[in-house]
Amino acid sequence: MAVYFECTTRTKMPQSELFDLARSIDVHKDSMAESHEEAVNGVTSGLISLGEEVTWRAWHFGVPFQMTSRITEMQIPDYFVDEQVKGPFRRFRHVHEFSRDSAGTTMVGRIEFAAPFGPMGRLAEKLVLGRYLQRLIETRNRHLAGASSLE
């Protein structure tokens, strides 16, 4: 069984700028400073693109983790999808969608994951890990919405 949640963020930023910020390795590192995320393999700086991979090293729950993600789908500047190819989850998929309206840009993140817990861990997966990941994505999205340009 998988956990699914969505995070919606609105900003006055142009769609193409937010799209690029969302796939910037450097901006991601800045947004995840609290967990000391670092790109250690694959694309380690700049913008990640279709078919490319990045391996992240981070600390969560006081434990070091490594996860390799690949961009498996991309339609500039409307959406891209990153999926775990190696790491702590049985599966992890994050769809990033961007749409323009009269007030600016709306970014919707659709996250689906399954943790490596067996049947006894389903409650922890949903209540602990699901909530933790949702807060992490919301923090990242607030950072993106507050960024003015790629540095």
pLDDT tens-place string over residues 35-52 = 899 999 999 999 999 999
Distance CA 4, CA 115 (A): 12
Domain coordinates in residue numbering, the chain: 3-146
d(CA 20, CA 48): 9
Per-residue confidence (pLDDT) for residue 149, from 0 to 100: 42
Structure confidence by residue, pLDDT tens digits, 116-141? 876 666 777 877 899 999 999 999 99
pLDDT at 147: 73
At residue 2 the predicted structure's pLDDT band, cuts being 50, 70 and 90, is confident
Helix runs in the chain, H state only: 15-22, 25-31, 122-124, 130-146
Judge contact between 13 and 104, C-beta under 8 A: yes
CA dist 82 and 93 (Å) reads 6
What is the spatial distance between Cα 79 and Cα 62, in angstroms, rounded to a whole number?
A: 32
Residue range 14-29: mean pLDDT, rounded: 96
The predicted structure's pLDDT at residue 113: 94
DSSP string, 12-30: SS-HHHHHHHHTBHHHHHH
Second CATH level (architecture) for the domain 3-146? 2-Layer Sandwich (3.30)
pLDDT digits (tens, 9 = 90+) for 45-95: 999 999 999 999 999 888 899 999 999 999 999 999 999 999 999 999 999
From CA 88, how far away is CA 114, in angstroms rounded? 10
